[in-house]
Chains A and B, each alone.
Chain A
Amino acid sequence: MKNWSARFLTTALLVCSSLSTWAQEVEMADTLRAEGKIYVIVGIILIVLAGLFVYLFLLDRKVSRIEKSLNK
């Protein structure tokens, strides 16, 4: 049992270390995220989305009003 768990731990450690070295080779936007500025972009996109939805809701309300006035 002890032997099995030791073997498992070594394998896990080896896999982890190989994964982390592999991960460092590929360029990603790590710096941007470290500086935290990615949230600026998330904010911008969410504002655009919010604007789109407000627009859709207003358009929806306008159409509903005309529908009501036409059905009278």
Chain B
Amino acid sequence: MKTWLKITAIVLLVYVHTAGLLMDVPRLNILNETIRALYFHVPMWFGMVLLYLGSVYYSIKYLRNPSHELDVKAEAFAHVGTAFGVLGMITGMLWANYTWGSPWHGDPKQNGAAIALLVYLAYFVLRGSLDNPEQRARLSAVYNIFAFAAMIPLLFIIPRLTSSMHPGSGGNPGFNAYDLDSRMRWVFYPAVAGWFLVGLWISNLRLRFKLIQEKSSDTSI
């Protein structure tokens, strides 16, 4: 990963954490200052979806043209994406406790996110249960496509068909529901970009660590 991308991530996130706490936000009842969760909680989910998208991209690439590195890349992206998802879940539960009244409200998007995370946890269970590297790479690449295809309706379609309390749900036109104040976009989009770059960075470290691990165990035999 290029150094300028890492620097960009740092600059974006320093800006996001300063402006996100200090800039004016719409004054709304019940939400109060917690509307700022848009800057810190939502980027975790956007980061997760983007990292999973990267993972499924490498899985498809692997199936078209198998190579060991593509398999390790797909695993690294899915791993960091899941970490982002867990953080999104915990921050969402803390927020829901003070705005919806309880950490787990059975909101369709919340349930869908939990199921999506479980589907991805099964991806790691599948990988861990196969010893043959080629079999593991091929089967998990196929499963990864299924997992991604299951996540999209769970997060973006089902909550819209029912009445989710998340913005942009319950038949509303997607992202415009956030548009309480378009100034919020000036912090929200940099937050998504910054956290996604950090996710890429950690995935890259994990990929290199895995390759070193395999290389050093090869030479020691």
Which residues on A are within 8 Å of B, measured CB to CB? 22-23, 26-29, 38-39, 41-42, 45-46, 49, 53, 56-57, 59-60, 63, 66-67, 70
Contact = CB atoms under 8 A, between A and B. Distances in A.
B161 interface: no
Interface string B100-135: 000000000000000000000000000000000000
B33 A70 contact: no
B221 interface: no
Contacts of B201: 56, 60
Grouping DSSP codes into helix (H, G, I), strand (E, B) and loop, the A interface class, with mixed when no group exceeds half, is: helix
A23 B27 contact: yes
B216 A26 contact: no
Contact of B208 (A41, A45, A67): A67
Given A45-B17, A49-B17, A56-B202, 11 more contacts: A23-B27, A26-B27, A26-B29, A26-B32, A29-B33, A39-B22, A42-B21, A49-B13, A53-B10, A63-B209, A70-B216
Q: DSSP class of B's interface residues: helix, strand, loop or mixed? A: helix
A46 B13 CA distance: 9
Contact of A67 (B10, B198, B212, B219): B212
B22 A42 contact: yes
B148 to A, nearest CB: 27
- Going nearest first, the 5 A-B pairs with the smallest beta carbon separation are A26-B27, A63-B208, A45-B17, A42-B21, A29-B33
Interface of B: 6, 10, 13-14, 17-18, 21-22, 27-29, 32-33, 198, 201-202, 205, 208-209, 212, 215-216, 219
B12 to A, nearest CB: 11
A27 B35 CA distance: 13
A65 B208 CA distance: 11
A70 B219 CA distance: 9
A28 B24 CA distance: 11
Contacts of B209: 63
B205 A60 contact: yes
Nearest to A66: B212
A70 to B, nearest CB: 6
